[in-house]
Structure 1
Amino acid sequence: MTTTPILLRPRRFQDTRGWFSETYSKATAAAAGIGLTFVQDNQSFSAATGTVRGLHFQRPPHAQAKLVRCTRGSIIDYAVDIRRGSPTYGRFVSARLTAEGGEQILLPVGFAHGFVTLEPDVEVAYKVTDFYAPECDGGLIWNDPDIGIYWPLPASGASLSEKDAALPRLAELDSPFEYDGAPLEPIPEL
């Protein structure tokens, strides 16, 4: 099973009507070494360019792996390693996800997740491996200088929720996630 983020590019079959794509198949995922069971689908809509959502995670016993895709518009998606003892703790990887390209990113447990919208009226859909549990909700402030993410924002700046604007810094995190021996690397494509 994967323990670092992976970029997936499901095939699209085109004809004169448009295209068809199998966006998730348990059998295809298993053949690629992804043995996750997804239990909930989520979707978000962001009206403004520069909407930042994250950096979010859910603590055990309801930790979540996520399979994220952009179904309308485009985003930059980020995964921050928050596995205690990891040599890449606090580092991040990112990928551009577009509705046009159909890319997906698989984010294992132990990573904080966030994204920024690159245009107006963006929709993002993601599958998760555990149900939402408010008592396990966690996050990091999006612009923590110790993480150092570059967020491509419009001149008006980031559009944030009050909750996301008040999240703590990485230095304040007592991470509940253990390092599993796989350091964060550039995102491989499957």
Structure 2
Amino acid sequence: MPRITPLPAEAATSDVKAAFDTHVTDYPGSRITNMKATLGRSILAFQVYMQWYPLYEEVKKIVGDRLAYLFAHSISEGSNCPLCTTFFRRIIIDNGERPEQLTLTEHEQAVVDFGSAIAQNKGEISDERYVPVAERYTDEQIVVLVAFAGQMIATNVFNNVLEVNIDEYLYPYLPLTQQSNP
């Protein structure tokens, strides 16, 4: 049971409805999920959190689509966020892979470990995790990757604190140990 229920569409103000419409138009394939509808209770919070999308687009430019969603998945899993982890499990599975059986290059593993360590260690990263990533990317790119990790963690925290329900469209992507509807 969520601590704050998602804002029903009929209860949304015209500003919130416009923000929702703009979001769905600007990011084809996106939808107003339980998290976004909950954020809709504060237009400013919604707008701030939706900056995740342009930051994610920058991450994809830096590391490519696959490594971008694997990076986001590793952060969500490291944050123990069931909703976001399941969201990225869906992307991994829909791209023909199994999250439990990924085949990663040494570089991909370093980026995934970097994301997971950021989440698990609250940003305290050992040189062992930082250096392999820093050697491959520019300072600007590292800033984008770390900023994205922070935004991803903020999203994880939001969902975890408010116990936002996993959206029904994600149920088939839950790990086998969690297949019953949350």
Taking structure 1 as the reference length, the TM-score comes to: 0.28
Task: Decide which structure has greater helix share.
Answer: 2
Task: Decide which structure has greater strand share.
Answer: 1
Q: Which has the bigger relative contact order, CA under 8 A and spacing at least 6?
A: 1
